[in-house]
């Protein structure tokens, strides 16, 4: 290290020490980000993409009812056209624009769906050929829009969650088609940083063993996680993307949280968990899974940086159709948690991505995005 850089480094530390000693507040960024060699931290972001419709009309059906098949086709048709009306690709592009505006180093995406269709379908005649024609692909739409904006990202790891193919009525040509919805979680990382500044390895994925059974579909509702190990400027940590079960099954949430803590989050290195927890820290949705993470030593970034605003930072509550501007967020379920002495959150921001239009969809998702800047303690 050259003398001038060395002098500047110790001068900054001395100033910071004097300010702390005299009670003058010093932002963490002045200690971490200004160190020689560039940024000494990283920024993480999480966003639930929302595939565009509720699946309750399908999942609530009883296969034992005599008119089950006709009701199933009707319900699937309604869900499909609700997804179409939600405009998944334009919404995904709006999410990409919000990512490009911040340029986080790593991004956790949940409920990023791909919708495929087979026309005409073969399910009604006992066929088993899966639908392959892609109608919407939210991850691809995000990556393409990022690239068009000069923001370079790649998928570091992705995991398929529930993957369901069912018959529907095609209103355009009157045929019975098969539509396939695959829910995915993914971690994106920047590819334009200098070599060694930010790299990932050891991609892992998994599904929880405690799941909700779906009698109407003769399968379970898959939920899971993905993770990578991050190496940046001499520091290492594990980054996990997760999507827990909805708050309608609070005890199942706790079991999934315990699986995560006993699995990828059991690492000896520092850990960051980002995602849709479906669990409000203040239990405003009736869930208690957040307490499981807190008991395991994890800190909530919003609470750490906003101790006087524990009720703020809301991230969920837009209506199913993304159509009513008067429907306000009422809970905080998209979180970035961390554990490890070397990690120091510096800022946290909630971004409710709007589409800038008067007709629905009005927002990119029913969730807001959450971005957190971290520094590293020495």
| Domain range list for the chain | 1-31, 39-376
| Residues in the chain, total | 378
8 A C-beta contact, residue 181 and residue 113: yes
Beta strands in 51-152 (DSSP E): 106-110, 114-118, 133-137
How far, in Å, CA of 92 to CA of 148, rounded? 13
Q: Phi, psi at residue 338, to the nearest 5°?
A: -145, 155
8 A C-beta contact, residue 203 and residue 227: yes
Each residue's pLDDT, cut to its tens digit, for the chain (378 residues) gives 433 333 333 333 333 333 333 333 333 333 333 334 446 799 999 999 999 999 999 988 888 899 999 999 999 999 999 999 999 999 999 999 999 999 999 999 999 999 999 999 998 788 889 999 999 999 999 999 999 999 999 999 999 999 999 999 999 888 999 999 999 999 999 999 987 899 999 999 999 999 988 887 778 899 999 999 999 988 999 999 999 999 999 999 999 999 999 999 999 999 999 999 999 999 999 999 999 999 999 999 999 999 999 999 999 999 999 999 999 999 999 999 999 999 999 999 999 999 999 999 999 999 999 999 999 987
8 A C-beta contact, residue 276 and residue 50: no
How far, in Å, CA of 239 to CA of 273, rounded? 6
Residues 6+ apart with CB under 8 A from 133: 116, 117, 118, 119
Burial category of 119 from C-beta neighbours within 10 Å (exposed 0-12, middle 13-18, buried 19 and up): middle
- Give the per-residue pLDDT at 39: 60
How far, in Å, CA of 252 to CA of 250, rounded? 5
The two structure tokens encoding residue 103: 């340029």
Q: Which of 144, 239, 246, 140 is nearest to 189 (CA)?
A: 239
Is 39-376 assigned to CATH 3.60.10.10?
A: yes
- Give the per-residue pLDDT at 40: 76
pTM assigned to the model: 0.88
- Give the per-residue pLDDT at 76: 96
How far, in Å, CA of 227 to CA of 186, rounded? 9
């Amino acid at each position: 290290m050259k003398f001038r850089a060395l002098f500047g480094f110790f001068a900054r530390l001395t100033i910071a020490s004097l300010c702390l000693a005299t009670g003058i507040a010093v932002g963490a960024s002045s200690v971490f980000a200004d160190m020689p060699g560039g940024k000494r931290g990283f920024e993480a972001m999480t966003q639930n993409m929302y595939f565009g419709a509720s699946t309750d009309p399908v999942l609530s059906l009883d296969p034992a009812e005599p008119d089950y098949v006709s009701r199933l086709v009707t319900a699937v048709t309604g869900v499909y056209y609700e997804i179409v009306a939600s405009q998944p690709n334009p919404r995904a592009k709006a999410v990409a624009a919000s990512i490009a505006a911040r340029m986080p180093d790593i991004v956790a995406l949940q409920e990023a769906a791909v919708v495929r269709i087979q026309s005409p379908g073969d399910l009604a005649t006992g066929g088993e050929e899966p639908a392959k024609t892609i109608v919407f692909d939210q991850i691809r739409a995000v990556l393409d829009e990022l690239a068009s904006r000069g923001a370079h990202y790649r998928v570091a790891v992705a995991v398929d969650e529930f993957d369901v193919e069912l018959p529907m009525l095609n209103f355009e040509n009157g045929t019975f088609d098969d539509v396939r919805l695959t829910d995915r979680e993914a971690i994106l990382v920047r590819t334009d940083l200098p070599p060694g500044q930010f790299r990932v390895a050891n991609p892992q994925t998994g599904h929880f063993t405690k799941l909700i059974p779906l009698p109407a579909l003769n399968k379970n509702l898959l939920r899971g996680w993905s993770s990578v190990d991050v190496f940046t400027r001499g520091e290492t940590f594990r980054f996990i993307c997760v999507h827990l079960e909805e708050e309608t099954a609070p005890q199942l949430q706790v079991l999934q949280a315990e699986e995560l803590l006993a699995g990828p989050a059991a690492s000896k290195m520092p850990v960051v968990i980002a995602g849709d927890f479906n669990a409000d820290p203040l239990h405003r949705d009736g869930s208690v899974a957040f307490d499981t993470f807190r008991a395991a030593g994890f800190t909530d970034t919003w609470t750490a940086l906003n101790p006087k605003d524990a009720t703020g930072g809301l991230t969920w509550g837009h209506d199913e159709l993304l159509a009513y501007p008067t429907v306000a967020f009422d809970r905080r379920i998209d979180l970035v948690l961390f554990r490890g002495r070397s990690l120091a959150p510096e800022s946290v921001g909630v971004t409710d991505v709007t589409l800038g239009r008067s007709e629905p969809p009005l927002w990119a998702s029913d969730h807001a995005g959450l971005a957190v800047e971290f520094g590293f303690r020495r």
